[in-house]
Structures are given as structure tokens and as C-alpha cells.
Amino acid sequence: MIGELGAVLGPEHGARLRRSLLAMTAYGVLQGLSFAMLVPVLRALLSGEAVGPWLAGFAVVVVATAVASYVQAQYGYAVGLAALRTLYHRLGDHVAGLPVGWFSADRVGRLGQLVGKGVMDVMSVPAHLLQVVVSAVAAPATVLVCMFVFDWRLGLAALLTAPFLWLAFRWTQSLVQRSDTAMDDAGAEGADRVVEFARQQPSLRAFGRTADGYDLLDDALARQRSTLRRLLRTALPGLGTVALTVQLAFTAILIVGCSLALGGAVDVPELVGVLVLAVRFTEPLLAAADVGGELRMARGGLRRIKAVLDTPPLPVTGPATGRARPGEPSIELDGVGFSYAERPVLRDVSFTVAPRTVTALVGPSGSGKTTLTRLIARFWDADAGVVRVSGNDVRDYAPEDLMAQLSIVFQDVYLFEGTLEDNIRLGRPEATDEEVREAGRLARVDEIAARLPGGWQARIGEAGATLSGGERQRVSIARAMLKDAPIVLLDEATAALDPENESALIDALATLARDRTLLVIAHRLTTIAAADQIVMLGDGAVVERGTHQELLDLGGRYAAFWTERKRARGWRLTQPA
């Protein structure tokens, strides 16, 4: 366990962990010594000898134990805090490099549980639990040595109990281990279902499904309850066995001591002292048995953290340094193929978006348009072919260098809890207030600020949900303006917008497109017709490519799509006469 902890913390914390272990061992030994000092003190008291020197010695050891306890607690907390910091950083950095495909609903629930409870469980090992375990070994070992010094026969009796104690601990551990794993899995599944349930609230309510009707969540919680019951049924006899074995060990020492005293081999004051010692000998062992459950939980957390850290991030394969230098802002797809878990979505897609031009991506729903933009942003890696951004394979860039080339404006804009200004600043955190406001003005967010009480400082966010879909997209465009990346990937809003939002968005997009390379999943006819190039996707492949006029003249799928869209736009729902 200590090895696993050291591996997860990394070598930079090795010295700190070793120092902490040393302090805990010193504390355990001093604890044992302070127990042992009771024997001469009691012996002196009961036999009428001078007790003063022994009491003074006892006081010195007790003070030293208190100091050691303080020092080891400080070291333990320092390692615990370092563990907390390091694990958050390592998990955060690692997860940020994982392909977006890794973040399934299941994994997001488990990750939430891991970052909250799992990391705290692991932190409690160096901060608190390890000391109990180290004391459970060091203190009885010291007591044992002292027993041998006082009377070798009593020492031998105590030593002979050790293998039985060890066996009882091991047996209990193996007994509970299996239920623990099941408990871990049931807990993680419960967390997944709760996240899913919370996310799906709008749909569930729309279909009148309340908590009682959400069977998946009910089943997961019922499974969690029954696993806990099973764990308790298995663990309780185990814990009882440890307590019983410890008591039996004490009884064995008591019997040996009494028979020695009756035979006259040991005098009564010494026997009383050694029996008090035997009681203290078993105390740290019982304390260790008490924290066994917490330790196993921490080990489970450690195992799951390690599994996340062992998941390979998207590899940087490129020129040895992974620091390809971007050229002119272009996008090039060369024979790109991609599948979601065996289901092919894109096949042999090839086209180029020249620097500072606008390409409109069109095609029926499910034809792979969103997937294509996500491959360009390297949310996933293509299975076949090459995706190039600004002249280089996306796999050759360090992730931050690729992201510096791209601004992404998707439809599902996420607004964080915070002010309107904070939400724009996300595009470039170091931007000045003036730059944030200017980007906001260009994306016509200033009109939203003027409407909201509190203006730029108005608090918005998922919970507040104070902005309409069109307004959210304007915030997202402001972020892209502020980021000022040379290439923009845009998923145009499909929702019907009110005239004010529509005209604001058109202006904002026109400003964003100026001097930038734009690939847009286009839904508005004006955007499509004005593009320098139109790429039409159908069933994951490029079916037609050219300018609006060229494709109309071709009279193929695009021409049919265009006619259909125009006709649909002419439709109006009217009141029956």
C-alpha cells in the first residue's frame, strides 16, 4: 500500500513520505516504551521500593512520546496535503489530455466520485491511518522486546500469539476484500446513475417520469443497499474474530503469567506489571483492526486513481519534440475515416479549407458534420487518413499549440457560474477589461449587458440560465473573438431565433469571419450561399464539393437539398379557415 501510494504521488514526494514513516515508527516505539515503563513503576509501588526515579523516567518517556506524536502528526498532514494537491493536479492534467470519447456518462459519474471521495480517502492514509498501522506494529514489537527483558517466558508466550494474530488479520482482510470490490462498483454505479438522472431531468420531466419511475436509478440504489448488507454480514464475523483472537492472546499471556507466579518463578508485583503491559500490547492491534475498513476503502480509491492515470492520453507522435510550427491557417482532411466503437461514421473524407476562406459544411442530420469538426479539434483521433491544421498533422502539435490555432463555437454553449464578463474572459484569461468589453461589443454582447441588471457583472450560468440560446451563442462568439485564433470552427445555431438575435448573430459572425479561416456547419441559407466553398456530406462521405453556383449547376444532391430548404423556409403554419 505504501509502495502504491509512493507510485501515485511520484518520486518528488518520496523523501517526505519516508520522513513521515520514520517519525511514525519513532512514535510507535516510544509508545511501546511508555507502556513498558509501567512495569518497573508498578513493581516499585507494589513492593515498596523507591518509585521516584522510575516515575521521573516514565515522565521523560511520556513527554518524548507526546513530542513524537505531534511531530509525526505534522509530517503526516504535510504528506496528506501534498497527496491532495498532487492527486488533483495529476488527475486534472491527465484527464485534460484524454480523448473526449473517454468521457462517457458512466466515466463522468465515476470520475466525480473519485475526485471527491476517492482522493479524500487516499489523503487520509498518510494523514491519519498509516500512523495507526505503523503503531500497531512498532508499539507491540517494542513491548514484546521489553517483555523478554522483564521475563523471557512471558515474552515467549506473547511472541507465540503473534502468528495467530497475523492469521486472524489476514483472514478477515481476504473475507472483506471481495465484498469491498462489489461495494466500490455498486457505489460507482449509483453515482453514475445519479449524474445521469440529474442530467436527464428536462427529458424525464417532459415525459412525466419522476424519481420513482426512473428504474435504472432505483435498481442501482437497491443494488448498493443489498451489497452493503452483504458487506456487513461478511465483515462483522471477521471483525469479531480479530477482537476474539486479541482477547485470546491476552488470556494466553495471563494463564502463562499466573502459572509462573503460582510456581514462584515470577513475583506478584512483576506479574501485575507484565499483565498491564499485555493489555497495552493488544490495544494498538485493536485500533488497527478498527481502521481496516477505511484502509481498504483508501486502497480502492488508490486503485481507481491509478487506473485513470494509466489510461493513455492522445499521443503526440510528431517531430520528436511534439512542437510542430503552424504555417498559414488552413485545414486539410486527407482520406479521413472514423468509427464510434465499431460503427463507421466517416469514410475517406478529403477536402481543404484554404487560409482566410469560408467553407460551409452541409448535409442531412447524422451525416457526420459535428464529428468532422471534432476530429479537427482532436477530441478524437481519426482511424484512417490525416487531419492537418495550418500545414501539420494534428497529432504533431502539443495540445496547447493546436488549441491556439482554433476557436470553437458549438451550439451547446456551456456558461459557467460567474459574471457575463468572466464567461467571455474564458477565451483568454489574461485579457484586460477593455479587451473583454471590446470582444463583447463586436459580438453584440453589450446589448445583453445593457439589458441585464448588473450589466457586465450580472451573474449568469447553468443554474441561472438567464440567457436565451441565441444570446449564449453570442457569448461564445465573444470568447472566440477574444481568443483571436486564426481558424474558427462554428456550428451555426439551428434553433429559430427572434429577429433581434438573428441580426446580432449575423453581424457577430461576419466580424468573426473577417481575416480568419472559417469552417461552419451551416444551417442558414445566406451563410451557405455566401461561402467560398460548400462541402456536402452524405452518409459520412463527401458527396459534392464546389461553390453554391457550381453545385446548383451540377443539379445533384446539393441542388435538391437547396430547393428543399428554400421550400421549407417558405412554409408557414396558418390557422385553418
Ligand X SMILES: Nc1ncnc2c1ncn2[C@@H]1O[C@H](COP(=O)(O)OP(=O)(O)OP(=O)(O)O)[C@@H](O)[C@H]1O
Decide whether 343 or 572 has the Cβ nearer to ligand X: 343
Beta bridge partners of 393: 388
Site string for ligand X, 202-231 (x = CB under 6 A): ------------------------------
What minimum distance in Å lies between the beta carbon of 549 and ligand X?
Answer: 24
- Options 181, 370, 466, 511; binder of ligand X; rule CB under 6 A: 370
Q: How far apart are CA 538 and CA 545, in angstroms?
A: 12
- Options 369, 444, 472, 524; binder of ligand X; rule CB under 6 A: 369
Decide whether 296 or 369 has the Cβ nearer to ligand X: 369
Decide whether 154 or 406 has the Cβ nearer to ligand X: 406
Query: Could you tell me if 427 and 408 are in contact, meaning their C-beta atoms sit under 8 angstroms apart?
Result: no
Segment contacting ligand X by CB under 6 A, of 55-63, 251-259, 271-279, 365-373: 365-373
Work out whether 371 is an interface residue with ligand X (CB under 6 A).
yes
Q: Mind spelling out the 3-state secondary structure of 137-157?
A: HHHHHHHHHHHHHHCHHHHHH
Site string for ligand X, 323-362 (x = CB under 6 A): -----------------x----x-----------------
Amino acid at 243: A
Length of the chain measured in residues: 577
Q: How far apart are CA 344 and CA 30, in angstroms?
A: 67
Beta bridge partners of 388: 332, 393
Segment contacting ligand X by CB under 6 A, of 27-35, 85-93, 363-371, 512-520: 363-371
Query: Could you tell me if 150 and 143 are in contact, meaning their C-beta atoms sit under 8 angstroms apart?
Result: no
503 to 473, 507, 509: CA distances (angstroms): 13, 6, 10
Size of the site for ligand X (CB under 6 A): 10
- DSSP letters spanning 34-73: HHHTHHHHHHHHHHT---HHHHHHHHHHHHHHHHHHHHHH
What minimum distance in Å lies between the beta carbon of 238 and ligand X?
Answer: 44
Segment contacting ligand X by CB under 6 A, of 33-41, 46-54, 369-377, 465-473: 369-377
Decide whether 335 or 366 has the Cβ nearer to ligand X: 366
Work out whether 524 is an interface residue with ligand X (CB under 6 A).
no
Q: How far apart are CA 392 and CA 386, in angstroms?
A: 9
Q: How far apart are CA 422 and CA 27, in angstroms?
A: 50
Q: How far apart are CA 136 and CA 143, in angstroms?
A: 11
Cell of 76: 503526516
Decide whether 147 or 375 has the Cβ nearer to ligand X: 375
Query: Could you tell me if 3 and 110 are in contact, meaning their C-beta atoms sit under 8 angstroms apart?
Result: no
Decide whether 65 or 371 has the Cβ nearer to ligand X: 371
| Nearest C-alpha neighbor of 288 from the set 83, 516, 49, 31 | 31
Beta bridge partners of 517: 487
Segment contacting ligand X by CB under 6 A, of 107-115, 176-184, 283-291, 368-376: 368-376
Decide whether 99 or 326 has the Cβ nearer to ligand X: 99
Q: How far apart are CA 209 and CA 405, in angstroms?
A: 44
What minimum distance in Å lies between the beta carbon of 490 and ligand X?
Answer: 13
Decide whether 129 or 362 has the Cβ nearer to ligand X: 362
Decide whether 412 or 430 has the Cβ nearer to ligand X: 412
What minimum distance in Å lies between the beta carbon of 172 and ligand X?
Answer: 44
Q: How far apart are CA 285 and CA 133, in angstroms?
A: 8
- Options 368, 427, 440, 470; binder of ligand X; rule CB under 6 A: 368
Work out whether 367 is an interface residue with ligand X (CB under 6 A).
yes
* Structure letter (DSSP) for residue 516: S
- Options 203, 210, 365, 526; binder of ligand X; rule CB under 6 A: 365
Cell of 109: 459519474
**Residue 137 falls in which region: left (phi positive, over 0), alpha (psi -120 to 50) or beta:** alpha
Work out whether 416 is an interface residue with ligand X (CB under 6 A).
no
Decide whether 33 or 375 has the Cβ nearer to ligand X: 375
Site residues (CB under 6 A) for ligand X, limited to 59-98: none
Work out whether 536 is an interface residue with ligand X (CB under 6 A).
no
Decide whether 260 or 488 has the Cβ nearer to ligand X: 488
Using DSSP's 3-state secondary structure scheme, residue 555 falls into: coil
What minimum distance in Å lies between the beta carbon of 438 and ligand X?
Answer: 32
What minimum distance in Å lies between the beta carbon of 530 and ligand X?
Answer: 20
Which chain residues interact with ligand X by CB under 6 A?
A: 340, 345, 363, 365-371
